[in-house]
Amino acid sequence: MRVKTMSGNGSVIAAAVLLLAFSFGCLGSSTSAPPSLRTLDFANASLSVEMAVTPEQIKQWLARKERSTVEFKEARRELPRSLFETVCAFLNQDGGVILLGVNDRSRVTGVDPTAVERLVADIVNLSNNPQKLDPPHLLVPDRVDYEGKIVVVLQVPASPQVHRCAGV
């Protein structure tokens, strides 16, 4: 699932409410269901939500290898140093997808299950930090069980703004 704030004064609060609802299963989604884009309105806020990535989508990305809109990064217990440079490049171009827990040879190495929650929280917090990504762009990663290993997926949209990463 990805939550993208579109407009409005209450958008940050609405995004947080929606994120919590999905986290606790209140707005249920199936990881085997195809992803879809939905727009939800909360008073003065409009949000677009993309449903969870499926193992089948990961299989397709792995088969097509890395390219200008797909990046693989190993991330067993720590975020890769170059993660936000890639996020920034995707935001400033045509968007793309980053698969954490996959090496450059398209082999799934997986993210350590004990580190997943911390890595996801770090991504969310750092993407909303203007000292890391300026202007901030909230990213909400998906966690996917792929052949017994965890892959963290970041779907990064093209942005109408120009972004910089840590002063770059």
CA distance 66 to 98: 10
Name the DSSP letter for residue 94.
Answer: T
Q: Per-residue confidence of the chain (168 residues) as pLDDT tens digits?
A: 444 444 334 445 555 555 555 544 444 433 322 333 333 434 333 344 455 899 999 999 999 999 999 999 999 999 999 999 999 999 999 999 999 999 999 999 999 999 999 999 999 999 989 999 999 998 889 999 999 999 999 999 999 999 999 855
* Opening angle at CA 114, ends 89 and 77, nearest 5: 40
45-50, strands of its sheet edge to edge: 2-7, 45-50, 37-42
For residue 25, give the H/E element and its range: none
Kindly tell me the sign of the dihedral angle through the C-alpha atoms of 127, 154, 7, 42.
Answer: negative
How many other C-beta atoms are found inside a 10 Å radius of the C-beta of residue 77?
Answer: 11
**Cis geometry, peptide bond prior to residue 130 (ω within 30 degrees of 0):** no
pLDDT in tens, 67-99: 999 999 999 999 999 999 999 999 999 999 999
| pLDDT score for 52 | 80
What is the pLDDT, as a whole number, of residue 33? 27
pLDDT recorded at residue 66: 92
138 SS3 class:
coil
Q: Which amino acid is at 104?
A: D
* Residue-level pLDDT at 51: 58
Question: Torsion over CA of 40, 20, 10 and 119, rounded to 10 degrees?
Answer: -110
CA nearest to 142, candidates 70, 55, 40: 55
